[in-house]
């Protein structure tokens, strides 16, 4: 196997590279230009067999998936091509509300770029094979790209194609250039339009209250601090700047009121410099704080989630993609290694990724994949870790094909929206076509990199060897986002990962000011088929939710004194919560409740327990407390026990819970969680991985808690591994 460090430089490959590749090319003016794709053997399972397939992109023998990813991309191309009016293409997910996915009112502002990129894979493949239908598909591609970049007069036109859409489009352009097809696919006039449109200017300057989507006059620099969106979008603008530079296009320049060094750099390097500062300054643990740009004091910052880990992977991948390896510093590689060290303890035999925070589902799986791939290319994995990473990615690709992709839908598609699943508003169903394209692209570019690293067409590790590596992982791993000795960041922010046999359990402590009222950010254990949050919504999921003076409060921030120990096979976690937050998105901090909780969580073998001891020095009046456990187990197979405070679950394919009970409450009630009283699907029940079916809610009568008094609540959950 080629040394991972030798993959950087002459043999680096653009993420645009189509799928299977042989050794590094030579005798070319473009060091990143790949050879043409070659067929993969049809007998051995491999990442390439799932992504690309046989020479005709069909599913090879021995590969147990319904369709290859290239097959999915071709089906989407055909769906558009065969429509009499491509702007009226419908994707039907079988829930009674088909989506006109290319209508200008879809709200998917990234779609033009995703289309340009996704469909480019098909054109390049057809061209390389001399496919007689190539001219027909090329004409369709040109029709679509021309129409979607046309700018009608007046109004907000969805197809303006912002940020990520601009980046995706530039990936496609560099992809075509690498294969000598750029001027065949795009006219000079269209390229001039794209050069003018595909910039990062929409991410800088005025915000939504005074939106500015145009670049300043020539020679007028942009203030690098004027980013009008989340700070992770510095990475998107960095990718845009680097890919423009790779095409030979000029970039707007930057200035900075606080750092003159920015004005001396080209746009690409100024953005990388700013990104590095973001990671360096906003977290002493080396992770990206995704709330740091909108809040001014630490106590209301610190949202650490999937993107806090993924951002550095994207930065490194973009750096390699644009040929900017010279600026891949030891500092950046060190941050990347921190993300690797957070991910490795969570690896599993099913290809599952993040199970907490926002924008997970299939993106939770692919985030692991993208970070591990960047790490492989940057040379920060050991040879054994390379084998482990490739094996996990193979399993994640297979999970995408057999779990996330649903060929039984009226329009086969990735499914994040129906059959009991739910995702963020950000990734709402109107974005269904774009989500297919972007997810497929992630697997395609990852397959290209691993092929370049010498894994093209290779089988993953034997299951027994991979499982042996998993079994050797520590019982628990504690990853600090901010070091406990960092006086500038006084509250605990960390991820605890506990392994119980094959089960991975995560406890994420994150302040998450803009999301802490939503269950995926609660300080509770999350694990597949056992405990899962519901996106963009909140309820009393395994926390003591307090009602006081007609308002609801929850212990979801201000964590202090985090301590983790292991004794007799049990992992014991304790922490304090200094105040309770009002259970509302972006609630004012002036509404915080002077109520404290001392929490102890115990991770046993097949058991989870939690106790919360509540106290307050100033609270007056009565409070009530509620805690819910919502299970994937069927309501009809769940049995309430005679004690009134516990339930038994029939172990089935939906859930691994076997029993749950509480202490400290006055009453409990078991109920169906699927539907509301009116018969509609209960929105609280639709998690990224499927529907919650039953709820066991326990509550108190009103009681007084004040100086000198405490009250303790607890629950215990039993499960099968």
Note down the domain range covering 183. Answer: 4-198+305-471
Report how far residue 481's alpha carbon sits from residue 496's, in angstroms, rounded to the nearest whole number: 11
| Residue 245 included in any domain | no
Cα dihedral: 154, 156, 160, 165 (round 10) = 180
Mean pLDDT of 240-263: 94
497: domain CATH number is 2.70.98
Please report the pLDDT score of residue 105 as a whole number.
Answer: 65
Report how far residue 532's alpha carbon sits from residue 520's, in angstroms, rounded to the nearest whole number: 7
Identify whether residues 466 and 488 lie together within a single domain. no
What's the predicted TM-score (pTM) here?
A: 0.92
Report how far residue 45's alpha carbon sits from residue 47's, in angstroms, rounded to the nearest whole number: 7
Identify whether residues 704 and 570 lie together within a single domain. yes
Mean pLDDT of 146-162: 62
Q: Which residue has the higher pLDDT, 313 or 161?
A: 313
Using alpha carbons, select from 234, 380, 259 the residue that is nearest to residue 314: 234
Please report the pLDDT score of residue 160 as a whole number.
Answer: 67
Report how far residue 261's alpha carbon sits from residue 254's, in angstroms, rounded to the nearest whole number: 10
Say if CB 375 and CB 337 are below 8 A apart.
yes
Please report the pLDDT score of residue 483 as a whole number.
Answer: 77
Identify whether residues 359 and 408 lie together within a single domain. yes
Say if CB 165 and CB 111 are below 8 A apart.
yes
Identify whether residues 500 and 426 lie together within a single domain. no
Please report the pLDDT score of residue 281 as a whole number.
Answer: 82
Mean pLDDT of 533-546: 97
**What string of H, E and C letters represents the secondary structure of 215-265?**
CCCCCCCEEHHHECCCCCHHHHHHHHHHHHHHHCCCCCCEECCCCHHHHHC
Identify whether residues 675 and 589 lie together within a single domain. yes
Please report the pLDDT score of residue 146 as a whole number.
Answer: 87
Q: Give me the sheet containing 494-500, strands edge to edge.
A: 476-480, 494-500, 503-509, 525-526
Tokens of 714: 């607890």
Burial of 662 (0-12, 13-18, 19+ CB in 10 A): buried
Strand partners, 648: 639, 659
Please report the pLDDT score of residue 46 as a whole number.
Answer: 95
| Residue 659 included in any domain | yes
Final residue of a domain: which of 471, 487, 520?
471
Length of the chain, please? Answer: 721
Identify whether residues 369 and 482 lie together within a single domain. no
Identify whether residues 404 and 520 lie together within a single domain. no
Identify whether residues 434 and 482 lie together within a single domain. no
Q: Which residue has the higher pLDDT, 296 or 60?
A: 60
Which three-class secondary structure state does DSSP give residue 368? helix
pLDDT-derived band at 42 (thresholds 50, 70, 90) equals very low
Please report the pLDDT score of residue 1 as a whole number.
Answer: 37
Flag whether pLDDT at 47 surpasses 60: yes
Flag whether pLDDT at 18 surpasses 50: no
Tracing tokens 């003591």 back to the chain, one arrives at 544
Identify whether residues 458 and 525 lie together within a single domain. no
Say if CB 468 and CB 317 are below 8 A apart.
no
Final residue of a domain: which of 412, 446, 471?
471
Main-chain dihedrals φ then ψ at residue 147, nearest 5 degrees: -65, -40
Final residue of a domain: which of 471, 492, 510?
471
Say if CB 102 and CB 80 are below 8 A apart.
yes
Flag whether pLDDT at 327 surpasses 60: yes
**What string of H, E and C letters represents the secondary structure of 376-419?**
HHHCCCCHHHHHHHHHHHHHHHHHHHHHHEECCCCCCEECCCCC
Angle, alpha carbons 294-535-289 (nearest 5°) = 30
Q: Which residue has the higher pLDDT, 211 or 662?
A: 662
Identify whether residues 543 and 412 lie together within a single domain. no
| Residue 436 included in any domain | yes
User: How crowded is residue 172: how many other Cβ atoms within 10 Å of its Cβ?
Assistant: 30
Report how far residue 522's alpha carbon sits from residue 512's, in angstroms, rounded to the nearest whole number: 9
Flag whether pLDDT at 176 surpasses 60: yes
| Residue 234 included in any domain | no
Please report the pLDDT score of residue 676 as a whole number.
Answer: 85
Sign of CA dihedral 664, 668, 672, 675: negative
Tracing tokens 């290209």 back to the chain, one arrives at 448
Report how far residue 509's alpha carbon sits from residue 556's, in angstroms, rounded to the nearest whole number: 8
Identify whether residues 321 and 432 lie together within a single domain. yes
pLDDT in tens, 400-441: 999 999 999 999 999 999 999 999 988 999 899 999 999 999
Identify whether residues 506 and 531 lie together within a single domain. yes
Tokens of 529: 């088929």
Tokens of 91: 């994707």
| Residue 103 included in any domain | yes
DSSP one-letter string for 590-609: GG-B--EEEEEEEE-SSEEE
Say if CB 285 and CB 338 are below 8 A apart.
yes
Contacts of residue 645, Cβ cutoff 8 Å, sequence gap at least 6: 661, 662, 663, 665, 668, 698
pLDDT in tens, 72-110: 999 999 999 998 888 788 999 999 998 887 766 666 788
Q: Which residue has the higher pLDDT, 194 or 87?
A: 194
Cα-to-chain-centroid distance, residue 194: 29
Which helix (H) or strand (E) segment is 506 a member of? strand 503-509
Please report the pLDDT score of residue 113 as a whole number.
Answer: 93
| Residue 532 included in any domain | yes
Please report the pLDDT score of residue 217 as a whole number.
Answer: 77
Report how far residue 58's alpha carbon sits from residue 595's, in angstroms, rounded to the nearest whole number: 60
Report how far residue 552's alpha carbon sits from residue 624's, in angstroms, rounded to the nearest whole number: 10
Tokens of 539: 């309820």
Please report the pLDDT score of residue 41 as a whole number.
Answer: 45
pLDDT-derived band at 293 (thresholds 50, 70, 90) equals low
Output the CA–CA distances (angstroms, integers) from residue 376 to 320, 386, 442, in the order listed.
Answer: 12, 6, 16
Output the CA–CA distances (angstroms, integers) from residue 337 to 12, 288, 330, 334, 433, in the order listed.
Answer: 20, 14, 10, 5, 33
Report how far residue 203's alpha carbon sits from residue 217's, in angstroms, rounded to the nearest whole number: 16
pLDDT in tens, 253-265: 999 988 999 999 9
Which three-class secondary structure state does DSSP give residue 200? coil
| Residue 414 included in any domain | yes
Mean pLDDT of 334-351: 97
Please report the pLDDT score of residue 651 as a whole number.
Answer: 67
Of 236-250, 287-301, 547-561, 569-583, give the lowest mean pLDDT range. 287-301
Flag whether pLDDT at 211 surpasses 70: no
| Residue 277 included in any domain | no
Which letter does DSSP use for residue 541 in this model?
Answer: B
Please report the pLDDT score of residue 7 as a whole number.
Answer: 37
Share of the chain above pLDDT 70, in %: 89
Please report the pLDDT score of residue 192 as a whole number.
Answer: 94
Strand partners, 639: 648
Of 30-44, 173-187, 329-343, 540-554, give the lowest mean pLDDT range. 30-44
How many domains does the chain divide into? 2
Output the CA–CA distances (angstroms, integers) from residue 179 to 99, 112, 166, 592, in the order listed.
Answer: 34, 21, 20, 58
């Amino acid at each position: 196997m080629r040394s991972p460090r030798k993959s950087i430089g002459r043999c680096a490959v653009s993420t645009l590279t189509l799928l299977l590749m042989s050794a590094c090319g030579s005798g070319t003016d473009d060091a990143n230009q790949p050879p043409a794709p070659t067929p993969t053997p049809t007998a051995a399972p491999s990442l390439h067999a799932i992504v690309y397939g046989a020479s005709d992109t069909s599913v090879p023998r021995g590969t147990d998936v319904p369709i290859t990813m290239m097959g999915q991309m071709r089906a989407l191309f055909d769906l558009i091509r065969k429509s009499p009016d491509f702007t009226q293409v419908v994707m039907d997910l079988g829930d009674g509300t088909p989506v006109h996915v290319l209508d200008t009112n879809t709200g998917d502002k990234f779609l033009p770029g995703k289309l340009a990129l996704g469909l480019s894979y098909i054109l390049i493949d057809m061209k390389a094979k001399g496919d007689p239908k190539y001219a027909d598909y090329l004409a369709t591609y040109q029709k679509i790209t021309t129409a979607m970049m046309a700018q009608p007069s007046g109004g907000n036109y969805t197809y303006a194609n912002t940020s990520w859409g601009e980046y995706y489009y530039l990936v496609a352009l560099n992809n075509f250039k690498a294969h000598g097809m750029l001027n065949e696919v795009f006219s000079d006039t269209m390229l001039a339009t794209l050069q003018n449109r595909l910039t990062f200017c929409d991410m800088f300057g005025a915000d939504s209250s005074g939106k500015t989507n145009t670049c300043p006059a020539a020679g007028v620099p942009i203030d690098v601090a004027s980013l009008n969106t989340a700070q992770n979008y510095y990475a998107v603008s960095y990718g845009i700047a680097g890919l423009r530079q790779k095409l030979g296009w000029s970039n707007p320049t930057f200035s900075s009121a606080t750092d003159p060094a920015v004005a001396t750099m080209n746009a690409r390097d100024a953005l990388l410099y700013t990104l590095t500062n973001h990671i360096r300054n906003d977290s002493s643990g080396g992770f990206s704080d995704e709330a740091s740009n909108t809040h001014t004091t630490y106590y209301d910052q610190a949202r650490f989630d999937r993107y806090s880990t993924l951002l550095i992977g994207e930065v490194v991948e973009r750096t390699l993609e644009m040929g900017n390896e010279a600026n891949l510093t030891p500092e950046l590689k060190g941050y990347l290694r921190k993300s690797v060290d957070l991910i490795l303890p969570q690896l599993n035999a099913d290809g599952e990724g993040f199970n907490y925070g926002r924008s997970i589902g299939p993106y939770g799986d692919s985030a692991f994949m993208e970070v591990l791939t960047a790490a492989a290319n940057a040379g920060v994995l050991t040879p054994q870790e390379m084998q482990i990473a490739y094996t996990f990615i193979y399993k994640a690709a297979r999970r995408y094909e057999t779990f996330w992709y649903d060929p039984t839908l009226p329009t086969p598609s990735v499914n994040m929206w129906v059959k009991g699943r739910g995702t963020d508003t950000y990734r709402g169903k109107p974005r269904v076509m774009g989500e297919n394209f972007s997810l497929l692209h992630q697997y395609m570019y990852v397959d290209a990199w691993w092929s370049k690293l010498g894994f093209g067409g290779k089988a993953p590790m034997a299951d027994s060897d991979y499982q042996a590596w998993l079994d050797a992982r520590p019982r628990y791993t504690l990853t600090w986002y901010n070091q406990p000795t960092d006086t500038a960041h006084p509250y605990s922010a960390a991820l605890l990962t506990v392994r119980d046999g094959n089960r991975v359990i995560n406890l994420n402590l994150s302040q998450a000011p803009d999301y802490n009222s939503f269950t995926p950010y609660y300080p509770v254990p999350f694990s597949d088929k056992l405990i899962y949050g519901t996106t963009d919504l909140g309820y009393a999921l395994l926390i003591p939710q307090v009602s006081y003076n007609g308002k609801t409060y929850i212990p979801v921030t201000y964590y202090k004194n985090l301590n983790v120990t292991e004794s007799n096979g049990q992992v014991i976690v304790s922490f304090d919560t200094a105040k309770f937050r009002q259970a509302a998105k972006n609630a004012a901090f002036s509404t915080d409740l002077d109520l404290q909780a001392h929490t102890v969580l115990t991770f046993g073998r097949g058991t989870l327990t939690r106790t919360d001891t509540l106290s307050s020095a100033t609270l007056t009046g009565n409070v009530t407390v509620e805690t819910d456990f919502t299970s994937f187990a069927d309501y009809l197979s769940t049995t309430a026990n005679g004690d009134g405070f516990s339930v038994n679950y029939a172990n089935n394919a939906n859930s691994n819970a076997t029993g749950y009970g509480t202490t400290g409450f006055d009453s409990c009630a078991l109920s169906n969680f699927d539907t509301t009283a009116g018969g509609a699907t209960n929105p609280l029940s639709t998690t990224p991985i499927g529907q919650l079916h039953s709820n066991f809610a326990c509550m108190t009568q009103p009681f007084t808690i004040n100086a000198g008094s405490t009250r303790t609540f607890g629950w215990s959950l039993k499960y099968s591994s």
